[in-house]
């Protein structure tokens, strides 16, 4: 089969670019220790229920209108199932998974992160308007995925 010279050139160019990009990703991952954004620390996924502060997940008040919320995602729910905060509160969410990959998303806010076993993900948001916000898993995690939700109540 005859392949035209310019076709061969483009095939070579495509393969070379693929090699360059794979090399860049590998270098960033191995040399720079790059991890996906919002993952702040590692945790043993088999010992989540014994590892502070995830042994007692929930809301912690840090200062006036400043909170930290520790969540454990597991098939097919979040712990805690509901938190209540005052309007204007800044909440930093720390989330980990006790089993499989999950999502952690509060639609209509900037809260959206993946939850990977072995990692703690973190995302912050200031809740200015009162209301009940639905917290959902947006990564398919199994047969009960559509049931996986929790509430953030802003008063």
Site residues (vs Cu ion, CB under 5 A): 137, 141, 145, 148
- Which residue, 90 or 145, is less far from Cu ion as judged by CB? 145
Phi, psi of 44 (to 5 degrees): -75, 115
- Which residue, 12 or 140, is less far from Cu ion as judged by CB? 140
- Which residue, 135 or 141, is less far from Cu ion as judged by CB? 141
> How is residue 18 annotated by DSSP?
H
CB 140, min distance to Cu ion, A: 6
d(CA 31, CA 11) in angstroms, rounded, equals 29
- Which residue, 94 or 104, is less far from Cu ion as judged by CB? 104
CB 14, min distance to Cu ion, A: 36
CB 70, min distance to Cu ion, A: 19
CB 139, min distance to Cu ion, A: 5
- Which residue, 123 or 154, is less far from Cu ion as judged by CB? 123
Q: Please choose, from the candidates 89, 82, 84, the residue with its C-alpha nearest in 3D space to the C-alpha of residue 128.
A: 89
CB 5, min distance to Cu ion, A: 51
Q: Please choose, from the candidates 140, 70, 65, the residue with its C-alpha nearest in 3D space to the C-alpha of residue 102.
A: 140
The angle subtended at Cα 9 by Cα 7 and Cα 11, nearest 5°, is 70
String of DSSP letters for 115-149: E-TTEEEEEEEEE-S-EEEEEE--S--STTGGG-E
């Amino acid at each position: 089969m005859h392949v035209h010279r310019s076709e061969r050139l483009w095939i070579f160019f495509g393969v070379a670019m693929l090699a360059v990009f794979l090399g860049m990703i590998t270098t960033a991952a191995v040399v720079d220790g790059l991890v996906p954004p919002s993952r702040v620390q590692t945790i043993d996924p088999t010992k989540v229920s014994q590892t502070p502060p995830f042994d007692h997940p929930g809301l912690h008040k840090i200062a006036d209108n400043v909170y930290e919320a520790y969540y454990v995602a597991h098939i097919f729910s979040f712990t805690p199932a509901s938190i209540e905060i005052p309007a204007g509160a800044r909440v930093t969410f720390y989330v980990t998974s006790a089993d499989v990959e999950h999502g952690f998303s509060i639609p209509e806010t900037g809260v959206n992160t993946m939850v990977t076993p072995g990692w703690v993900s973190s995302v912050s948001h200031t809740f200015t308007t009162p209301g009940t916000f639905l917290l959902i898993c947006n990564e398919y995690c199994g047969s009960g995925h559509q049931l996986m939700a929790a509430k953030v109540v802003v008063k």
